[in-house]
Each structure stands twice: as structure tokens, then as C-alpha cells.
């Protein structure tokens, strides 16, 4: 075939995996691959959870982006300005125009703290923090270390957010952190969520709600934040309820990348990209694909999702370029370790059809307990960082980490019971 061009927008988890998988699959004279990202700092985002507790430093979880891309991939350190879908071209901020045969949208989700009244006003980064960005995570470490007494409120403003369990993990680790420091009896922990329970899926939500109670973390549900007053230390919900805090740990509103709004036909009202849930082709045009946090798919915005999608997306791009029918089908598979403190973690595994259930998850190292705290799960969580840099990002196939959700090991309730 004549030489084709693939342009990948975003050089984070999904963009890097797809570009590397395509580079391994196609010769240089068959395919030119361009990756665009606004900076050269690839953050291992699951590591941000550990920074506020002094369990990781930011410099340990950041690597140069271009070093994660295989040789023969052209990296553009630039902001995406607009996508011209009709012309099959992308405009970058410096005026560069990149024509493509296939476009892959992997620009993730954007934090929008400025969308909540008062959130970034007085007190921002002094008593109101987010660990979802490296600078906030570092500042929060100082604030937690010096807090002797008072109330810590952990709040997610609205769904969808990246890694929906990360704020829960934060609350569990905060409980561990203050107990370890001998200060827990002087510190109230409150978990305020817009959901009607600790999590979105019923079985997992029940288990996680129980864990919050066991750890004496107060759960406040259906709390839809209207306004934050950092000076007074108060967060108010639209229904009039108020929570006082000495320290607010917020997960701000998320939206899609700003250029999506400027690219007619590409995104929805929130800036996420309507995408076919199985093929990962966007609804914008047949040669535009999307994966990871940038999509509107009804599944968690998670690295595991992005990884499972990357293999299927790369297969489907190869089909499209080869003039064949798309064959890959994503089932919505997602899994996640949930740190619960004291060197333990839970694991959840689910897809579009099956909610997280108890049982065991088969891995090459042996079965890992599902929805049950264990040290093995905690070790799995820690092991994931080297696996991420050395196997997942380079696009290597790993035994036991295929995209389809395993049914084996899951304990389903007998029919008629829930
Ligand atoms: C605190 C935290 C903990 C997490 N923990 C877990 C976990 O335990 N397990 C798990 O599976 N997932 C976890 N995640 C989620 C996971 O990190 C993301 O789901 C994953 O990185 C999504 O990959 P992505 O490629 O879609 O987006 P990203 O990896 O975020 O990449 C998007 C890229 O696009 C670039 N970009 C955006 N807009 C533009 C533009 N206009 N121009 C140029 N470049 C642009 C950005 O710079 C970025 O590099 C966590 C996330 C956070 C924040």
C-alpha cells in the first residue's frame, strides 16, 4: 500500500500505547506516525495518589514523553488548536497543519476547578487542594503533614472523573496516615459525594460503604457542590446543606480537551467524543478513532480501560488502513486496585454488562481476591508502575492481561437475589 499517515492527539497513556503498537506493526515506508502533546512530561497518574502521603515523589512518577515513544514516531510538542474533520487535517497552535488518513483522539480529560463557584478563590492551594495534578499533590503533602486537628473533607464535584475510586482511596489512606501519625482521634474525615453511595455499582458500593464506616469516615451522599468558601472553610451544596472543613480535598469537574469544542462535529456538550462502544470508531467520521478518558463511553475513565482499548483500537486502525472490515470489539473491560491503607487493597473487575463482583481474578501470578482486602492486591498496585513503563506503554502483549473480561472466578448471586 502507499504510505499512510496516522496522527495521534495526546501522548499520555492511550496515545503512547496506540502509537507504539502501530509502530511495531507497520514498517516505516508503510506508515508515518505523528504524536502531538503540549508538553514533554508523562505523568504516571495512579502515582499521584501516593504523593500527598509522602509515599511517592512527583519526580519518581514523571518521565519524558518522547522517550516513551518508539523510534520512528514523530513527536510534536505543541497544543492542538483544532481538528478539521471534513479535510482530514489537524491544526496545531504554531500553525503547523498535519494531514492524516487516520486520526486517533487520546487527549484525555481536563480538570475544570474554575467551573465551581469559589473553588479556586481564597484558600486554593492553602486549605483547598486537588491531588489530581502534580503541583496540588505536592502541596497537599505539606498540608497533611502539618495538620494536627480539624476536619478533612474529601469531595468529588461531579461525575465523570478519572479513576472514580481514587477519592475513596484518598480517604482510606488519610485514615491510615493520621492513625500512623497518632493524630487520628483529633481529625474528622468526611467523604462527600454526589452519588447515592460510595460508588456507582451496587455490590461494590455496598462493600466500600461498609469500609468507610469501619474506618469511621463519615459518608455524605447526594452532595452536589454549589459553592466553596475557602476563607470561611465551608462547602455548600445546591440543596442548602453545608460542610465545614479545615482542609478540603477536591476532585474538580472534568471535561474534554478545549480544542474538541472548537472542532465542529467532534465532541458532545462536555467536550467528550461520542465513540462506538465496541469498535472505538468515533461517530464523527469513520477514519477518526478515540480511546481513554477522551471518549463518552459508559465505563470508568481509567488506565486499565485505556490499555484494553489500545490493542483493539490499533487492530481496527490496521483493518481500516488495509481496507478490511473492523474486527476488534471492546467489551468495556475495566479493573482497578483500590488502596485501603495498612498495606492492603481491594480489586474490582467489570465490563459494560457485569458489575464488580466478589470472587477471584485469574492472573499469571495466581488468582487475586476481588472486592476483598489483601496484601497481594496492594503488591499488585505497587507492581503496576514498572509494568506500566516497561510493558504496557511500549505496547507489549502480557499474558493474562488481554482485553476480554474473564468470567471465571466471579461469584454471581443466584438468580432472583441481588
Ligand atoms: C489521581 C489519579 C489516580 C489514578 N489511578 C488510576 C488507577 O489506579 N488505575 C487506573 O486504571 N487508572 C487510574 N487513573 C486514571 C488514568 O491515569 C487515566 O484514565 C489514563 O491516564 C487515561 O489515559 P488517556 O490517554 O486517555 O489520557 P492521559 O494519559 O491523561 O493523556 C492525555 C494527554 O493529552 C494531552 N493533551 C490534552 N489536551 C491537549 C491539547 N489541546 N494539545 C496537546 N496535548 C493535549 C495531555 O497533555 C495528556 O498528555 C488515575 C488518574 C488520576 C488523576
Q: Look at residue 215 in the predicted model and tell me its pLDDT.
A: 98
Which of 44, 46, 282, 308 for a ligand 1 pocket mutation test, highest count of atoms within 8 Å of Cβ? 46
Contact 259, 140 (CB under 8 A): no
Rg (CA), the chain: 22
CA–centroid distance, residue 182 to ligand 1 (Å): 35
Q: Look at residue 400 in the predicted model and tell me its pLDDT.
A: 75
Dist. CA 111–CA 170, nearest whole Å: 18
Q: Look at residue 1 in the predicted model and tell me its pLDDT.
A: 61
Helix H or strand E segment including 131: none
Q: Look at residue 124 in the predicted model and tell me its pLDDT.
A: 98
Q: Look at residue 317 in the predicted model and tell me its pLDDT.
A: 98
Q: Look at residue 46 in the predicted model and tell me its pLDDT.
A: 98
Positions in the chain whose pLDDT score sits under 50: 416-418
Q: Which residues contact 265 (CB under 8 A, 6 or more apart)?
A: 85, 284, 285
Q: Which ligand 1 atom minimizes the distance to the CA of 381? A: 8
Q: Look at residue 416 in the predicted model and tell me its pLDDT.
A: 47
CA–centroid distance, residue 257 to ligand 1 (Å): 11
Residue 236 burial (CB < 10 Å; 0-12/13-18/19+)? Answer: middle
Q: Look at residue 274 in the predicted model and tell me its pLDDT.
A: 98
**306 within ligand 1 shell (Cβ under 6 A):** yes
Closest CA relative to residue 48, chosen from 153, 170, 142: 170
Percent helix, strand, coil in the chain, to 5, is 30, 30, 45
**160 within ligand 1 shell (Cβ under 6 A):** no
Nearest CA residue ID for atom 5, ligand 1: 46
Amino acid at each position: 500500500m502507499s504510505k499512510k499517515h496516522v496522527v495521534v492527539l495526546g501522548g499520555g497513556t492511550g496515545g503512547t500505547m496506540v502509537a507504539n503498537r502501530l509502530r511495531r506493526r507497520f514498517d516505516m515506508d508503510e506508515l508515518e506516525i505523528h504524536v502531538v502533546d503540549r508538553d514533554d512530561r508523562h505523568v504516571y497518574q495512579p502515582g499521584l495518589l501516593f504523593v500527598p502521603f509522602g509515599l511517592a515523589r512527583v519526580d519518581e512518577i514523571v518521565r519524558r514523553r518522547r522517550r516513551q515513544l518508539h523510534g520512528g514516531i514523530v513527536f510534536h510538542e505543541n497544543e492542538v488548536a483544532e481538528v478539521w474533520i471534513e479535510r482530514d487535517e489537524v491544526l496545531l497552535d504554531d500553525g503547523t497543519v498535519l494531514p492524516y488518513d487516520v486520526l486517533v483522539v487520546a487527549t484525555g480529560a481536563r480538570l475544570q476547578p474554575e467551573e465551581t463557584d469559589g473553588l479556586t478563590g481564597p484558600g486554593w492551594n492553602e486549605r483547598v487542594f486537588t491531588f489530581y495534578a502534580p503541583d496540588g499533590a505536592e502541596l497537599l503533602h505539606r498540608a497533611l503533614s502539618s495538620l494536627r486537628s480539624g476536619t478533612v473533607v474529601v469531595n468529588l464535584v461531579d461525575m465523570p472523573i478519572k479513576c472514580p475510586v481514587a477519592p475513596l482511596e484518598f480517604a482510606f489512606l488519610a485514615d491510615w496516615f493520621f492513625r500512623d501519625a497518632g493524630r487520628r482521634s483529633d481529625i474528622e474525615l468526611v467523604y462527600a459525594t454526589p452519588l447515592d453511595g460510595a460508588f456507582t455499582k451496587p455490590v461494590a458500593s455496598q462493600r466500600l460503604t461498609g469500609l468507610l464506616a469501619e474506618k469511621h469516615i463519615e459518608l455524605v451522599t447526594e452532595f452536589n457542590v454549589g459553592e466553596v468558601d475557602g476563607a470561611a472553610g465551608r462547602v455548600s451544596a445546591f440543596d442548602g446543606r453545608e460542610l465545614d472543613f479545615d482542609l478540603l480535598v477536591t476532585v474538580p469537574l472534568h471535561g474534554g480537551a478545549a480544542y474538541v469544542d472548537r472542532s465542529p462535529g467532534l465532541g458532545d456538550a462536555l467536550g467528550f467524543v461520542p465513540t462506538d462502544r465496541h469498535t472505538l470508531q468515533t461517530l464523527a467520521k469513520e477514519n477518526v478513532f478515540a480511546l481513554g478518558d477522551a471518549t463518552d463511553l459508559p465505563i470508568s475513565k481509567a488506565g486499565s480501560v485505556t490499555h484494553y482499548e489500545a490493542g483493539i483500537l490499533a487492530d481496527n486502525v490496521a483493518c481500516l488502513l488495509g481496507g478490511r472490515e473492523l474486527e476488534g470489539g471492546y467489551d468495556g473491560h475495566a479493573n482497578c486496585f483500590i488502596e485501603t491503607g495498612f498495606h492492603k487493597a481491594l480489586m474490582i473487575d467489570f465490563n459494560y454488562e457485569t458489575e464488580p463482583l466478589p470472587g477471584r481474578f485469574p492472573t499469571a501470578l495466581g488468582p487475586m481476591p476481588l472486592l476483598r482486602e489483601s496484601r497481594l492486591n496492594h503488591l499488585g498496585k505497587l507492581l503496576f508502575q514498572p509494568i506500566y513503563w516497561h510493558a504496557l506503554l511500549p505496547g507489549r502483549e502480557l499474558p493474562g492481561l488481554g482485553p476480554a473480561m474473564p468470567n471465571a472466578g466471579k461469584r454471581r448471586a443466584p438468580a432472583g437475589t441481588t
